Structure 1
Amino acid sequence: MAQLFFLAHRGLTGDANAYLRDLGLGRAHYRVLYFAARLPGVTVGEMLDILDITAQGVARVLNRLLDEGYLRQETDRGDRRRRRLYVTEAGARLERDVFARQAVIIDAAIAAAGAGAQAGFAAMMMALISADDRVILDRLGAATGGGEPQT
């Protein structure tokens, strides 16, 4: 079963990763854009928690996205130590493009699996998510109305 998971992940992300590579970006850049698009104003600290990485691990990625105009950063008005992240129009467009490439693959897989497969797949994915990550999932659901936003 693990082989299926790893190969399915490669199938899902392959085209999107190639597109990102052509722009000199990687999967880490996309993950930051994905969450910044769905949680406007997310703090850098919250992003570290969501991605489960260290500040050193995200610094290069954030700096690149900021330098290239995909993200903007604002100092929190209530706590000047916090920095809040927002996608720019260019960042939103890039995030949408990458997401759309993956959505096509997901939609085709659902159609190929047949009626009822989507519910079973969703149940399996929910069973794989840790209790801590369910908090993130709930936050994303609240921010997006339970679905994917039109970024």
Structure 2
Amino acid sequence: MDYFAIFLHETKDNLQKRNWEDLTETVNKLEEKLTEISKSESQATLTTELLRKFIYSVSLGEVTKELFTNNLNKLLETLDIVFTDPQTYLGLNYSPYLYLTEAEVNTKIASKFAQSLELTKELKEQTDNLGGMDLEALLKGLTGGFDPSKLPPKKRAPSKAKPRSGKRK
């Protein structure tokens, strides 16, 4: 199962557990959008980051139906515009691709999206306790800024060859 499929499965399961089946239509729209996006690797990378921020915003504390619906709708709205008009989404005068790399544009989009999400009371308290950091900074704080891509390469296993048996002088 790929990440999008796991996300959709978990989300549908979550809705069923909470008796929020009336949100199924919105999740189905999201599923259609994710199917379309999954065909492009660069779009899939940004989308995965947006999904992670959405999941985090509804992962801790008492998540109300209103908060969940609001954040789900923001996710859909963001996915509708960021790939067709990132300039408007970011409120820029020029296309961001003229002076930023794709990774930098994706970071700006993900950060703006994270700031637009509503947080549960518990997440707000954590944010306040950390000096009013935004969700982006809170995520880094909770994960220790861990980035698996920055791990050093694995060392080679030691040789299983027998040591030389010779006389030393």
Is the pair's TM-score, using the shorter chain for normalization, greater than 0.5? no
Larger radius of gyration: 2
Q: Whose helix proportion is higher, 1 or 2? A: 1
Q: Whose strand proportion is higher, 1 or 2? A: 1
TM (normalized to structure 2)?
0.25
TM (normalized to structure 1)?
0.27
